[in-house]
């Protein structure tokens, strides 16, 4: 009477029939596949959102783990099909405390910036392109904001010397 082979016995039979070179090749493929999975899991995921301004072709990028924000947009360049201009993270737009970050565009059609949100803490900051970098305001949550009725400390201002003695013209003048 012949016994029905079990799954471990079938696997063992397959491996014993394979040539040594086939086993080495199989082990190599398994090792490469495992390494690829480790590298992919360590890759930084990104999220993207367009600027809400209707006549601006800018898109913002955020690293969903670190909160670092950058932006890119298309531009014309004579003699070419065009170029992509990218703006790296500047003041406040660099890596933040580890979290779960995303970008939210407002529905304000003339706004060129976006909001960086931390879904874990509820903190929000505004990010926009200033000169050649993306800058962001400090992260705040609704519990940390001050309302007009609360007594906030007076803002400290830095006084800079005026070089122009004529004030700028106003509509009333």
Q: In what helix (H) or strand (E) does residue 71 lie, and over which residues does it extend?
A: strand 69-75
Residue 50 tokens read as 């367009």
What's the pLDDT tens digit per position in 111-170?
999 999 999 999 999 999 999 999 999 999 877 755 544 444 444 434 343 333 343 333
- Residue 115 near residue 93 (C-beta atoms within 8 A): no
What residues form DSSP beta bridges with 117? 102, 124
Query: Distance between CA 116 and CA 123 in Å, rounded?
Result: 8
Query: Distance between CA 119 and CA 56 in Å, rounded?
Result: 27
Question: 154 vs 60, which has greater pLDDT?
Answer: 60
End-to-end, the C-alpha distance of the chain in Å comes to 111
Q: In what helix (H) or strand (E) does residue 73 lie, and over which residues does it extend?
A: strand 69-75
Query: Distance between CA 172 and CA 80 in Å, rounded?
Result: 47
pLDDT for the residue 21: 56
pLDDT for the residue 18: 61
pLDDT higher than threshold 90 for residue 94 = yes
pLDDT for the residue 158: 44
pTM score, whole prediction = 0.59
């Amino acid at each position: 009477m012949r016994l029905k082979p079990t799954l471990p016995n079938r696997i063992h039979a397959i491996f014993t029939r394979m040539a040594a070179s086939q086993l080495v090749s199989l082990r190599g493929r398994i090792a490469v596949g495992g390494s690829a999975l480790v590298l992919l899991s360590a890759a930084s995921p990104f999220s993207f959102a367009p600027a809400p301004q209707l006549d601006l072709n800018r898109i913002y990028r955020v690293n969903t783990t670190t909160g670092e924000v950058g932006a890119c947009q298309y531009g014309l360049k004579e003699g070419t099909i065009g170029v992509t201009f990218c703006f790296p993270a500047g003041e406040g737009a660099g890596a933040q405390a580890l979290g779960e970050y995303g970008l939210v565009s407002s529905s304000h059609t003339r706004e060129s910036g976006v909001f960086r949100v931390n879904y874990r803490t509820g903190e929000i900051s505004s990010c926009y392109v200033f000169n050649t970098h993306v800058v962001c305001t400090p992260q705040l949550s609704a519990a940390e904001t001050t309302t007009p009725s609360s007594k906030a400390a007076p803002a400290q201002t830095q006084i800079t010397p005026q070089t122009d003695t004529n004030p700028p013209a106003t509509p009333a003048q």
